[in-house]
Amino acid sequence: MVDLSVDIAGMKLANPIMTASGTAGYADELADFVNLKQIGAFVTKTITLEPRAGNAYPRVIETASGLVNAVGLANIGLDAFLAEKIPILSELGLPIIVSVAGKTVEEYRAITERLDSVDAISAVELNISCPNVSEGGIQFGMDARQVAKVTAAARQACNRKVLIVKLSPNVTDITTPARAAIEAGADAISLINTLNAMVIDIEQRKPFLANRTGGLSGPAIHPVALYMVYQVCSSVAGPAGVPVIAMGGVRTARDAIEFLLAGATAVAIGTATMINPTCLIEVCDGIRDYLLEHNYKSVREIIGTLQDD
Amino acid sequence: MKITDRDYLTKDNFSAPESKRGIFTARVVANEPICKEHNRLALKVDSFPASKPGQFINILCSTSESSYPRVIEQADEGQLIMDKANVLAAPALLRRPFSLAGRRKDNQGAQSVLEIIYRIIGSGTRWLSQLGEGEQVNIIGPLGNGFRTDFLQSETLAVLIGGGTGIAPLMYLASELMLKGQRIKFFVGAASKDILPISKAILEDKQFPIIIAAEDGSAGFKGTVLQAWEDWLGRQSLSPSGIVVYTCGPEVMMREVAQRCIAMGVRCQVSLERIMACGMGICQGCAVKVRTETPPYWQYKLTCTDGPIFDADEVIWQDG
């Protein structure tokens, strides 16, 4: 038997595979397609204090090996989430990680405070990296001082849950916001969110998405994500002993194993879940096959074991 | 597999205890041109759940790979050759949604054969067009809500108005309604007869209540399907409650049908098309603005799970 379990700041996962925010809804949408009880943890769609209708259509467009989206954090709002979705999510028997966003530092603090007292959840993930909303979101993620402010405010309100900060890749040096988040009290770091992107309709000579610009996800961004995860793990999070949750274009077990070798403790699957929900399980099975084939007893044996020449 | 006369009316007795959706492996039983612009793909699926006209399936239009090391084991020679040939064409990443154009039993009566009609417009449909008989595809379905037929009275005339590729889901609806003995009038239209995605069997069936409109006058009514419908309406004396309209086609066409029906007080359902990434209600990409009773008097619904069939009077149409 291979031990696939990992630990993220005290949060026990049966295996290192989790959903990525915004790509698995509130879990009930996927019930007919995949047994989510078999994954390591579930990360919800980003929740805001008030419901959000989201951006105008079109919101998504495929590009070469990628998906550009500008959904705009459409969600049912915190109250409806707590009343309607928490009961369903708690049936999964998994660590539940709630992704949150706010328009102001105070909103991040307030929503974290409300979630801190909800027994059914294990962690709060601060989405400070959504590129598709006019206020908040990425504005916090692109400035290290703002990253520190938001993280510190949420930290103050977060006493019982693991606090995860999700970084934006749209920065010059990813280690700067990573360091800011860790110094401000993040228990774990997750990266990367989508890369700023756009698509132009050349016949209309107009941006394709109603929001004009969006965020790129999917296999196209995997090597970029891997590079950033490697940088954060090797120069900031690793030395600080802070676990990293890696995401960005994972589609196969090979992609996930790359993240683990680079130093990530867990790996989230996003766009690929929307194409093939069972890929969450298949990637996990593939990691097990890899470990067996290389005679490892635990997945923890390979985390951050990138070999030097 | 060829379509034989009235084969499209063969009853599918599939009755699932519950209407669950799922991921299925399907085998190609036919993939052939149905006209100059459209192909018909017939897929055999074991134990596919009960489906309704108006629902759709989401097809993975590429060879899947998701694990280690099975990827290598599974790759077969034929596929590798194809991949090399298409080295400059990016494979389709997202699944492609297709309305069910029909469903029936295969000759053995054991499995379901699902039909879709498609036009080659990009990498996904090009990949589909290269599938040969016996090859496997991964599908998700049945997705979406389907047309509502519960409000049809026995004497109601169901009017189906389809334009171009939008004829596909109405084919399924037409055959289901005819099986139930419902009176129907099926209007179909295209720029020309030879790009009309209608099977020969139906075209040659004198009993089939179809009115064909070709803008170039190559068949039936010379003009658009809308004009053919208007022309027919002008010669009828129908009470608004006596007919129900179902439409699918270009959005400008459906919008006109919808507005005409609302003006006449006729119940109308439209089948909308929106770009979607998942089809399962997750990506939130396929948003449609619909009217609500309370402020701000509109909300977004999702084409994939709330639709793709909407009541004409709830849709807030896009500009342009």
Q: CB of A252 within 8 A of CB of A223?
A: no
For residue B89, which residues of chain A lie inside 8 Å, CB to CB?
none
CB contact (8 A) between residue A58 and residue B276: no
Closest chain A C-alpha to B175 CA, distance in angstroms:
28
Q: Which residue has the tokens 């770009």?
A: B275
Closest chain A C-alpha to B142 CA, distance in angstroms:
11
Residue A170: what residue type? N
The answer for B 131-170 residues in CB contact with A (under 8 A) is 138, 140
Say yes or no to pLDDT of B161 above 60. Answer: yes
Whole-Å CA distances, B143 to A48, A105, B123, B154: 28, 40, 22, 28
For residue B138, which residues of chain A lie inside 8 Å, CB to CB?
276
CB contact (8 A) between residue A274 and residue B280: yes
Tens of pLDDT, residue by residue over B98-146, are: 999 999 876 665 678 999 999 999 889 999 999 999 999 999 999 999 9
Q: Which of B71, B140, B274 sits opposite A252 (nearest CB)?
A: B71
Separation of alpha carbons B183 and A272, rounded Å: 45
- Tell me the average pLDDT across B188-195: 95
Q: Which residue has the tokens 């908040």?
A: A136
Q: Which of B65, B92, B285 sits opposite A71 (nearest CB)?
A: B285
- Tell me the average pLDDT across A259-268: 98
The answer for B 239-278 residues in CB contact with A (under 8 A) is 274-278
Q: Which of A24, A275, A286 sits opposite B93 (nearest CB)?
A: A275
Say yes or no to pLDDT of B13 above 90. Answer: no
pLDDT of residue B11: 39
Say yes or no to pLDDT of B165 above 70. Answer: yes
- Chain A: residue nearest B319 by CA? A57
For residue A21, which residues of chain B lie inside 8 Å, CB to CB?
none
For residue A276, which residues of chain B lie inside 8 Å, CB to CB?
23, 60, 64, 66, 138
Structure tokens at B119: 């036009």
Q: Which of A54, A62, A282 sits opposite B284 (nearest CB)?
A: A54
For residue B127, which residues of chain A lie inside 8 Å, CB to CB?
none
Whole-Å CA distances, B150 to B186, B187, B294: 19, 22, 27
Tell me if residue A43 falls in helix, strand or coil: strand
Cα distance from N-terminal residue to C-terminal residue, chain B: 42
DSSP E strands, B56-151: 56-59, 96-99, 102-105, 112-118, 136-143
φ, ψ dihedrals at A271, nearest 5°: -55, -40
The whole-chain average pLDDT of chain A stands at 95
- Tell me the average pLDDT across A267-293: 96
Cα distance from N-terminal residue to C-terminal residue, chain A: 31
Structure tokens at A153: 């405010």
Q: CB of B249 within 8 A of CB of B259?
A: no
Per the annotation, the verdict on A130 as an active-site residue is yes
Residue A182 — very low, low, confident or very high, per pLDDT cuts 50/70/90? very high
Separation of alpha carbons A245 and A267, rounded Å: 6
Q: Are strands B267-271 and B243-248 parallel, antiparallel or unpaired?
A: parallel
Taking the alpha carbons of A152, A47, A259, A141 in that order, is the dihedral positive or negative? negative
For residue A66, which residues of chain B lie inside 8 Å, CB to CB?
93
For residue A289, which residues of chain B lie inside 8 Å, CB to CB?
67-70
Residue A78, number of CB atoms within 10 A of its CB: 19
pLDDT of residue B210: 94
Q: Which of B68, B93, B300 sits opposite A53 (nearest CB)?
A: B300
CB contact (8 A) between residue A30 and residue B280: yes
Residue A173: what residue type? D
Q: Which of A95-109, A157-171, B194-208 has the lowest mean pLDDT?
A: B194-208
Domains and CATH numbers, chain B: 7-143 (2.40.30.10), 157-271 (3.40.50.80), 276-320 (no CATH)
Residue A127 — very low, low, confident or very high, per pLDDT cuts 50/70/90? very high
Separation of alpha carbons B192 and B267, rounded Å: 29
pLDDT of residue B109: 58
Closest CA relative to residue A129, chosen from A269, A264, A22: A22
Separation of alpha carbons B314 and B320, rounded Å: 18
B19 near A CB under 8 A: no
B93 near A CB under 8 A: yes
B304 near A CB under 8 A: no
Separation of alpha carbons B99 and B171, rounded Å: 10
Say yes or no to pLDDT of A64 above 80. Answer: yes
Tens of pLDDT, residue by residue over B39-88, are: 999 999 988 999 999 999 999 998 755 444 443 344 444 444 444 444 45
CB contact (8 A) between residue B282 and residue A23: yes
Tens of pLDDT, residue by residue over A219-231, are: 999 999 999 999 9
Residue B15 — very low, low, confident or very high, per pLDDT cuts 50/70/90? very low
Residue B6 — very low, low, confident or very high, per pLDDT cuts 50/70/90? very low
pLDDT of residue B72: 39
Size of interface A-B (CB pairs under 8 A): 126
Residue B301 — very low, low, confident or very high, per pLDDT cuts 50/70/90? very high
Closest chain A C-alpha to B288 CA, distance in angstroms:
7
The whole-chain average pLDDT of chain B stands at 86
What percent of chain B stands above pLDDT 90? Answer: 73
Residue B189 — very low, low, confident or very high, per pLDDT cuts 50/70/90? very high
Domains and CATH numbers, chain A: 6-55+73-194+220-301 (3.20.20.70)
